[in-house]
Amino acid sequence: MCHIAGVEAGAVSDGVGARLLAARTARGLSQRRLAEPAYTSAYVSAVELGHRRPSAEALRFFAERLGIDDDELATGIPAGLAAELRLHLTEARRHWSAGAPAVAVAAYQQVRERAGAAGLTELVGLALQGLGRCAQQAGELTQAIAHYSAAERELAEHPLPTRVPSIVGQATCHALAGRLREAVFLLTSTIDALERADLTDPDAVLLLHSGLVSPYTQLGLHADAARAAEVAIALAPRVSDPERVAAMHIRVAATYLTQGKPSLAEASLAKAHDLYSRLDLRTELGYCRWSLGYTHARTGKLDEAAREFAAAREVLVAAGAAFQVLRLDCEIADVLRRQGRPHEAKVLLNNTLAAIDPADDLMAVSDIHRQLGLLLVTEGDVVAAEDHYRAAVALLEQADAALELAVTCRLLGDLLSHLGRHAEATAVYRTGLLATEGASPLLLGTDRPAASFHANQWDQS
């Protein structure tokens, strides 16, 4: 006996009818042959015309008769497409890590288009996150933020933890551009939202807290940075993604360094290196070696630092990470200067300065000006040195980098005081003092505070 159980009368067509018609005619079936014995040809006709929407039971019946997946008939998404696209996302991620960013971008774009056509919003969001990562490494911070923001919108109907990598990506780009307080606001407000919703996803919470370490440190909020690092470390055993744990260890190492604990920093970086090695993530290993070189440089191990920086640079050049290579060159120049090779350092810094737009990386450009000031003071060219110090101060005043500003003001104030311009020196010192509240004395006494290496690594994975 025929029946029409589960039918919604007058339902608006949602594409099921068109798919049913296409599949039926492709197989040479009449409406009657498709319908019987459970349904009528009139019912099939009504579904195909969009006048009726079949129940789940009816969909399963028709799909079985047609030899297709019932979800494919209901949604139009081919069976296995989601799994296939997830595999392509993994491959794109591998291409990015292996130093083929153009291939990765093309793969992410393809997934975005195919997933978008199929209505797979989660995969569209993940593809946009990947595009954001690629743009970020290329130094295209505005484009990266646009991709991350688009990913967040695409994932709006998904649970908040799914959107966290997009939010962390935006925050990292804001921090790189010197908008540190904006980065902190994004991260802390998301942590608050997770707590209000009672969503205790350890992967998401670790990502957010480890992301706070760098901007807190650059703001001079070392106690807050240490607390964020402690939360991240405590969460690590519960986190399922080893890549996120590795990135966390890199960020936490920065906190140990600001606390004057280089041995703990090196141990943390060794853990990151081990995890990245197991995962065979080449580009990430390059960032890890960059961070280890930074740690060596801050503890006076200049030869070891030079070796690690050279190894990191080789990896990043191969990865096509031109923006990151320029930032690394700032660190290499610092080591050259401290090794007594001022001419090489000066050439490298001037070349790097010519290649970086302050709008793309305000922090790196201010660091270059500060280093050039140090070199010129040594050469006795105090006029040019003052110009570079003032350029660095002006840039840092646009940002929220309290620690960097304080150190640069100290250097400029010392120069002005040496020149007998005490009133000007006092004004500059005052500017620096206003920025030093909560800053670590270990860092205020250095020429370059430990606030930059942990911004070179991100964890949107």
Amino acid at 77: I
pLDDT of res. 50 = 85
Residue 438 has pLDDT above 90, yes or no: no
Query: Maximum CA pair distance of the chain?
Result: 105
Task: State pLDDT tens for residues 359-411.
Answer: 778 888 999 999 999 999 999 999 999 999 999 999 998 887 788 899 999 99
Whether residue 288 contacts residue 250, with contact meaning beta carbons closer than 8 Å, is answered with: yes
pLDDT of res. 8 = 41
pLDDT of res. 258 = 83
Considering the domain boundaries, does residue 309 fall inside one? no
Considering the domain boundaries, does residue 156 fall inside one? no
pLDDT of res. 452 = 47
3-state SS class at 178: coil
Check residue 11 and report its DSSP letter.
P
Q: Name the domain boundary from 75, 96, 125.
A: 75
Task: State pLDDT tens for residues 91-108.
Answer: 999 999 888 899 999 999
Task: State pLDDT tens for residues 110-148.
Answer: 999 999 988 889 999 999 999 999 999 888 999 999 999
Q: Name the domain boundary from 59, 75, 91.
A: 75
Considering the domain boundaries, does residue 256 fall inside one? no
Considering the domain boundaries, does residue 174 fall inside one? no
Q: What is the pTM of this model?
A: 0.77
Number of folded domains that form the chain: 2
Q: Kindly give the residue spans of alpha helices, DSSP state H, lying in 419-460.
A: 422-434, 441-444
Check residue 456 and report its DSSP letter.
S
Considering the domain boundaries, does residue 390 fall inside one? yes
Distance CA 442, CA 450 (A): 9
Q: What is the CATH number of the domain that holds 452?
A: 1.25.40
pLDDT of res. 11 = 38
pLDDT bracket for residue 197 (50, 70, 90):
confident
Query: Nearest 5°: phi and psi at 256?
Result: -60, -40
Task: State pLDDT tens for residues 21-59.
Answer: 988 998 999 999 998 898 999 999 988 888 888 888 888
Distance CA 137, CA 222 (A): 27
DSSP string, 41-93: HHHHHHHHTTSEE--HHHHHHHHHHHTS-HHHHHH-PPTTHHHHHHHHHHHHH
pLDDT of res. 442 = 47
pLDDT of res. 443 = 47
pLDDT mean over 174-190: 92
Enclosing domain of residue 426: 357-456
Considering the domain boundaries, does residue 311 fall inside one? no
Q: Which range (74-88, 92-106, 164-178) has the least confidence?
A: 74-88
Task: Give the residue carrying structure tokens 């320029």.
Answer: 326
pLDDT mean over 410-431: 95
Q: What is the CATH number of the domain that holds 19?
A: 1.10.260.40
pLDDT of res. 449 = 59
What is the average pLDDT score of the chain?
87
Distance CA 359, CA 327 (A): 14
Amino acid at 212: L
3-state SS class at 13: coil
Considering the domain boundaries, does residue 338 fall inside one? no
Cα 278–Cα 282–Cα 284 angle in degrees, nearest 5:
90
pLDDT of res. 437 = 62
pLDDT of res. 13 = 42
Distance CA 54, CA 15 (A): 11
Considering the domain boundaries, does residue 188 fall inside one? no
pLDDT bracket for residue 447 (50, 70, 90):
low
pLDDT of res. 460 = 40
pLDDT mean over 65-78: 78
pLDDT of res. 70 = 76
Pairing of strands 8-9, 52-53: antiparallel
Q: Name the domain boundary from 35, 60, 75.
A: 75
pLDDT of res. 403 = 82
> Three-state SS string across 383-410, please?
HHHHHHHHHHHHHHHHCCCHHHHHHHHH
pLDDT of res. 322 = 85
Cα 431–Cα 331–Cα 275 angle in degrees, nearest 5:
115
pLDDT mean over 345-354: 96
Whether residue 325 contacts residue 303, with contact meaning beta carbons closer than 8 Å, is answered with: no
3-state SS class at 8: strand
Query: Nearest 5°: phi and psi at 52?
Result: -130, 150
Q: Which range (152-161, 250-259, 298-307) has the least confidence?
A: 250-259
Residue 177 has pLDDT above 60, yes or no: yes
Distance CA 27, CA 62 (A): 12
pLDDT of res. 125 = 97
Q: How many residues does the chain have?
A: 461
pLDDT of res. 52 = 85
